[in-house]
Amino acid sequence: MKPPSEKPRGKRKDQPAYPPLAPHEVELTDFFVRMGAILGVQRSVAEIYSLLYASPKALDFDHIQGRLDMSQGSVSQGLKFLRDHGMILSIKEKGTKRERWEPTPSLAASLVNILRSQVLPTLEKSKPSLQKVLDSASARSADPEVIERIARLQRWNSRAVELSALLLPPPVDE
Amino acid sequence: MKPPSEKPRGKRKDQPAYPPLAPHEVELTDFFVRMGAILGVQRSVAEIYSLLYASPKALDFDHIQGRLDMSQGSVSQGLKFLRDHGMILSIKEKGTKRERWEPTPSLAASLVNILRSQVLPTLEKSKPSLQKVLDSASARSADPEVIERIARLQRWNSRAVELSALLLPPPVDE
DNA sequence: CGCAATCTTCATTAAAAATTGAACTTAGGC
DNA sequence: GCCTAAGTTCAATTTTTAATGAAGATTGCG
């Protein structure tokens, strides 16, 4: 009964009306959202990436905000995440203040960046903890089977760190 | 100032008092919780697994509940998850009603099980969606670059499904 | 069978995570 | 150098996810 009077998110003045997502765009967004969930990437970030991915030309801040009907804060944070992980590039035409964004050519490289930032720190942080646990177990003369389990865990962790560092070399920029 | 009067979780009658986790147990739990977070496994599940992992003998329901000071519901659901993913085994001594639990020997196999159950379904579900998006793009004569991007996504997805199915073959049990 | 003891289910509650929006900072044009 | 458009930050709010616990189902033993 109520007319679908959507309340648009806080816009800047003089902003054009942006159309809502078309069905095929929604479907692609769902895909990116699902994949993002596996990687621990939040919905709004996946939505922004999807929009840029399906767009033939680079889009600016207001365009993204308008089409996704999303707050300024979320757009800003989302673009920051995507930038920080090398997933989007800024197209800066001279004579214009606004930045415009497009996905980086290599999605594979982008995924690697996300994995590195999420997984590697965790693995590395675990190294000293496991060492401590193992030392403590030895000191207490814990059950040999338990000691062996923890030692195995530690070897695993070390190898995972090495392997990840190999597979996910840090970027050379900066 | 307040005395540390812990309220123990709803226990069964006649339950012994279980001691809280020792520092080394807490440290190991933190490790499993962090690793679990990467894989999307909830805290309570990681806690239970950690406790079993560091225990020289199999533990029963009440023991787990008592030492972790956790609700019956969480213990039940946690054990279900661990069982369903082949991460723990039941030691059933005859002449006793209670089941007792210990970790399965292969943590590697357990991890594979988790990955299969979390990642593969998502990849598979995406196949038809991507096909639809691609068809739609072709039908609309969308920008060639965009069509190429989506086609690439689809090839990726297909290969990921094949690869995962290969690396993560379904278990033969049941 | 029947009756506990043991475990499961699921609606409710609590905790954690993501999003919003308004105040604030920064950067360019004039 | 000011002024304004553009973007950022973060406390407050909303949404999502996990944990609780009481009622219900199951199981095995007498």
What pLDDT score does B14 carry?
A: 65
What pLDDT score does A5 carry?
A: 44
What pLDDT score does A165 carry?
A: 83
B60 bridge partner residues? B100
What pLDDT score does A87 carry?
A: 97
Question: Stated in angstroms, how far is B171 CA from D11 C1'?
Answer: 49
Q: Is B127 on the interface with A (CB under 8 A)?
A: no
What pLDDT score does B171 carry?
A: 54
Question: Stated in angstroms, how far is A87 CA from C4 C1'?
Answer: 61
Any idea which residue has 């992992």 for tokens? Answer: B53
Pairing relation of β-strands A100-103 and B88-91? Answer: unpaired
| Closest residue in A to B139 (Cα–Cα) | A24
Q: Copy the structure tokens of residue A34.
A: 């699902």
Question: What pLDDT, in 10s, does the model give residues B121-173?
Answer: 999 999 999 999 999 999 999 999 999 999 999 999 999 999 888 876 665 44
C chain positions with any atom within 7 Å of a protein CB: 5-11, 17-23, 27-29
Question: What pLDDT, in 10s, does the model give residues B41-60?
Answer: 999 999 999 999 999 999 99
What pLDDT score does B95 carry?
A: 67
pLDDT tens for the 174 residues of chain A, in order: 444 445 567 666 667 789 999 999 999 999 999 999 999 999 999 999 999 999 999 999 999 999 999 999 999 999 999 999 999 999 987 677 799 999 999 999 999 999 988 899 999 999 999 999 999 999 999 999 999 999 999 999 999 999 888 877 665 543
What does strand D contact on the protein, if contact means CB under 7 A?
A 12, 60-62, 72-73, 75-77, 79-80, 97-99; B 9-10, 40, 42-45, 70-74, 77, 95-97
What pLDDT score does B4 carry?
A: 44
What does strand C contact on the protein, if contact means CB under 7 A?
A 9-10, 40, 42-45, 70-74, 77, 95-97; B 12-13, 60-62, 72-73, 75-77, 79-80, 97-99
What pLDDT score does A171 carry?
A: 56
Q: What are the phi and psi torsion angles at A56 (to 5°)?
A: -70, -20
- Contact, B108 vs B142, CB < 8 A? no
- In chain A, the largest separation of any two C-alpha atoms, in whole Å, equals 73
Alpha carbon B67 to its chain's center? 20
- Contact, B25 vs B51, CB < 8 A? yes
Å between B160 CA and nearest CA of chain A: 12
- Contact, A64 vs A48, CB < 8 A? yes
CB contact under 8 A, A24 and B156: no
What pLDDT score does A158 carry?
A: 95
| Model confidence band, residue B10 (pLDDT cutoffs 50, 70, 90) | low
CA B65, B12, B104, B74 dihedral sign is: negative
Report whether pLDDT(B84) > 60.
yes
Q: How many CB atoms lie within 10 A of CB B61?
A: 16
| Model confidence band, residue B92 (pLDDT cutoffs 50, 70, 90) | confident
Nucleotide nearest to A98 (CA to C1'): D6
What pLDDT score does B170 carry?
A: 61
Identify from B25, B29, B33, B35 which residue to disrupt to test chain A contact, counting A C-beta atoms within 10 A and taking the largest count. B35
What pLDDT score does A74 carry?
A: 98
* CATH label, A23-104, candidates 1.10.10.10, 1.20.1200.10, 3.30.230.10, 3.40.50.2000: 1.10.10.10
> Measured between alpha carbons, how far apart are the two ends of chain A, in Å?
56
B157: enclosing H helix or E strand: helix B144-167
Nearest residue, CB atoms, A54 vs list B55, B118, B146: B146
Read off the amino acid at residue A73.
G
Q: Give, in degrees to the nearest 5, the angle at Cα A66 between A7 and A45.
A: 110
| Closest residue in B to A58 (Cα–Cα) | B146
Domain layout of chain B by residue ranges? 23-104, 108-167
| Closest residue in B to A130 (Cα–Cα) | B28
Q: Give, in degrees to the nearest 5, the angle at Cα A173 between A85 and A113.
A: 25
What pLDDT score does B2 carry?
A: 42
Pairing relation of β-strands A100-103 and A59-60? Answer: antiparallel
- Contact, A75 vs A27, CB < 8 A? no
Question: What DSSP string runs through A102-156?
Answer: EE-S-HHHHHHHHHHHHHHHHHHHHHHHHHHHHHHHHHTT--HHHHHHHHHHHHH
What pLDDT score does A8 carry?
A: 65
What pLDDT score does A96 carry?
A: 78
